[in-house]
Chains A and B, each alone.
Chain A
Amino acid sequence: MKAMTAKEVTKKVINNEELFILDVRNETDFNDWKIEGRNFEYLNVPYFDLLDGVEPILDKIPADKELLVVCAKEGSSVMVAEMLEEAGRDASYLTGGMKSWSEYLEPVKVGDLKDGGEMYQFVRIGKGCLSYMVISNGEAAIVDATRMTDVFTDFAAEKNAEIKHVFDTHLHADHISGGRKIAEKTGASYWLPPKDAEEVTFEYNRLEDGNEVMIGSTKISIQAIYSPGHTIGSTSFVVDDQYLLSGDILFIDSIGRPDLAGKAGDWAGDLRETLYKRYKDLSGELVVMPAHFMIIEELNEDGSVSEKLGTLFANNHGLNIEDEGEFRKLVSENLPPQPNAYQEIRETNMGKISPDEEKQREMEIGPNRCAVR
């Protein structure tokens, strides 16, 4: 019996490899959220239905495919993988279970900057969150960091870059931001849009339209664009006149949902204004880099998530709804379920509550659900 790490599974996702996943969590959890891969096959049988043996399911597991057993935290998958080995099958279990799947970040280089700097995207493959690091001349800025802050600080250290600025495009509702913690740890400035920060309990720099920050000694500009809609404070960035970090406003195959702070009706108009006017005025050559992906089809070949703004205006359904009433309907009716624990997550990001790490993990379980398609 072998252990397979989230990193190894991520490689399989990106390389479109085949894998047979026996997910032994209960049906509700499986239907809510699972490991997604273009060429993955699944069988969901809860571990508690296998306590008397795996014989009844052996014929449903192909013998010629690599087999991975997955559960919530690891324990049950080890038990079931052992039983499968005893029955003569090769089986791996997922190290750390779905908990580690939710937390794994894959760094992918997504582009060069004009002065020789680099742009990295951190793909949180299990949950669909995307963070960014801009590195130039020994300095780094981070956008929408997740709470696994070591990944970012270690990465910057490896690149010999000092983290100077940490941004959140908006107050997140689906995951706990690591921005403040990174800033505290490194002495970097932490920026948050003031309109999203009215209730926060900590000091921050006011991120406002027109703010411009330099990274490194040459001119790498990070230009803030006020772009309300997902939240009232939502802000996008144009980096190096090349990349549009669109936060939760615009995704590759969907657009942001305006209801997670309880104001779908009020913010639908803002969302439309941002997408159909402000973004429309930007260069179509900008490469959009959102804060999330929802489906595995949004991944590029190298595992990154990005597309030219012009292409999105041509292909993204959410950017092509002429009728305002119809748009309003799309973003305020029949919305997907809200992210797990989203109110508690918002309060954590405001500094109002400080759950321990175990509790934070639990709050973040599941997909991000920040979009409407």
Chain B
Amino acid sequence: MEALKTNFTVDAKGLACPMPIVRTKKAINDLNPGEVLEVLATDKGSKADIQAWSKSSGHQYLGTIEEGDVLKHYIRKASANEERDAANFETVASNEELQTEMDSNSDIVILDVREPAEFAFGHIPNAVSIPFGELEERIGELNKDKKTYVVCRTGSRSDMASQTLAKKGFTNVINVIPGMSEWSGPTAKKVN
């Protein structure tokens, strides 16, 4: 499996509780909101603790990959403005509307602008992954004329992405609100 792209890695292998979380907390303080941290640990208890800690500290626990004795945890740093109502881009669709469209129209593009690690732990099947931060440079990978649904976790990053696409001449862009945080349709994973 290809390595998941993250912003920083904490190596807490061989360290016993509480050290994996102590190191994680320290590292996440130095990240920018929205960035993704990878934590390598061998302490089996770290899985439940990282999840619980992420929840209580407001960060987003993405998932854990087990490779032999090593647990690789992925956490995305909380960003304050993300839960804000994202209604700047005018053309929007609900999760349900997107699902209906998926069932009836195969000629659409679903663009997922979340971070690679978020995408890896669960995304809409056949969605295209381009993180918001890379969208401008990779915009050539997309077809301007296709009907494009943009999703992220809560509708905020996809709102900004939809604006970027429109500015670059995409004619049929729809922002999906809220997006993956409440997605109940089919999902696929890139990791075990």
B48 touches A51 (CB 8 A): no
Chain B contacts of A51 at CB under 8 A?
18, 21-22, 25
Number of cross-chain contacts by CB at 8 Å: 42
Does A334 make an interface contact (CB < 8 A)? no
Given known contacts A48-B49, A49-B56, A51-B25, A76 and B44 CB-to-CB distance under 8 angstroms = no
Interface of A is mostly: helix
Query: Is B52 a contact of A75 with CB atoms below 8 Å?
Result: no
**Are A71 and B17 interface neighbours, CB within 8 A?**
yes
- Taking the complex as formed, is B16 at the interface, i.e. its CB lies under 8 A from any CB of chain A? yes
Other-chain residue from B18, B53, B56 in contact with A79 (beta carbon distance below 8 A) = B18
Q: How large is the interface on B (under 10, 10 to 19, 20 to 34, 35 or more residues)?
A: 10 to 19
A75 and B18 contacting across the interface, CB-CB below 8 Å = yes
Interface residues of B: mostly helix, strand, loop or mixed? helix
A362 at the interface (CB under 8 A from B): yes
By a CB distance below 8 angstroms, the chain A residues around B56 are 46, 48-49
Chain A residues within an 8 Å CB radius of B44:
362
CB closest chain-A residue, reference B21 = A48
Smallest beta-carbon distance A225→chain B, Å: 41
Min CB gap A34→B, angstroms: 15
Encode A188-218 as 1/0 by CB contact (under 8 A) with B: 0000000000000000000000000000000
Residues from 41 to 80 in A contacting B, C-beta threshold 8 Å: 46-49, 51, 71-73, 75-76, 79
Q: Is the pair B49, A46 in contact by a Cβ cutoff of 8 Å?
A: yes
Are A48 and B25 neighbours in the complex by a CB distance under 8 Å?
Answer: yes
Bound: A72/B17 CA distance, A? 8
Q: How far is the CA of A47 from the CA of B50 in the complex (A)?
A: 11
**Interface membership of B45, Cβ < 8 A:** yes
Residues of A within 8 A of B21 (CB): 47-48, 51
A27 within 8 A of B: yes
- Chain A, 284-331, CB within 8 A of any chain B CB: none
Are A26 and B18 closer than 8 Å at their CB atoms? Answer: no
Cα distance A48–B59 when bound, in Å? 13
A-facing residues in B39-70 (Cβ within 8 Å) = 44-45, 48-49, 52-53, 56-57
- State how many angstroms separate the Cβ of A46 from the closest Cβ of chain B: 6
Chain B residue numbers with a CB within 8 Å of A72 are 17, 45
Interface: A150 (CB within 8 A) = no
Residues in A whose Cβ lies below 8 Å from that of B18: 47-48, 51, 75-76, 79
Q: Is B127 an interface residue (CB 8 A)?
A: no
A46→B53 contact, CB < 8 A: yes
* Distance between A141 CB and nearest chain B CB, rounded to angstroms: 37
> Which residue from chain A places its CB closest to the CB of B19 in the assembled complex?
A75
Give chain A residues whose Cβ lies under 8 Å from the Cβ of B16.
73, 75
Q: Beta-carbon contacts of A10-32 to B below 8 Å, as 1s and 0s?
A: 00000000000000001111000
Closest 9 CB pairs of A and B: A48-B53, A26-B52, A76-B18, A48-B21, A75-B16, A75-B17, A47-B18, A76-B17, A72-B45
* 20 more CB-based (< 8 A) A-B contacts, given A26-B52, A49-B56: A26-B48, A28-B48, A29-B48, A46-B52, A46-B56, A47-B17, A47-B21, A48-B18, A48-B21, A48-B25, A48-B52, A48-B57, A49-B53, A51-B18, A51-B22, A72-B45, A73-B45, A75-B18, A76-B18, A362-B44
Contact residues of A with B, CB < 8 Å? 26-29, 46-49, 51, 71-73, 75-76, 79, 362
Which residues of chain B have a CB within 8 Å of any CB of chain A?
A: 16-19, 21-22, 25, 44-45, 48-49, 52-53, 56-57
Instruction: Sample 11 A-B pairs with CB under 8 A, ordered by A number.
Output: A26-B52, A47-B18, A48-B52, A48-B53, A48-B57, A51-B21, A71-B17, A73-B16, A75-B17, A75-B19, A79-B18
